Amino acid sequence: MRMKDFMLKLYVKLQTLAIHEEGQDLVEYALVVALIAFGATAAMSQLGEGLSSGFSDISSTLSSAM
């Protein structure tokens, strides 16, 4: 009889967890935000290198023109 009660309680608990998905949504949103932040960081570093190279080229061109 105890095993049957345990299985019933386990079944009810699993059903309750399956119905309440708010926690899963929060984790999914956190993962998406982390992925976007990682991508933005990588893009900003590439953009920074490109801007630095561009300003160096402009600076050297202006220096040689004067």
pLDDT in tens, 24-61: 677 788 889 999 998 888 888 888 888 999 999 999 99
Q: What is the pLDDT of residue 24?
A: 66
pTM greater than the 0.75 cutoff: no
**Is pLDDT of 23 > 70?**
no
| Angstrom distance (rounded) from CA 31 to CA 44 | 20
- Cα–Cα separations (whole angstroms), residue 10 to 24, 32, 34: 20, 32, 34
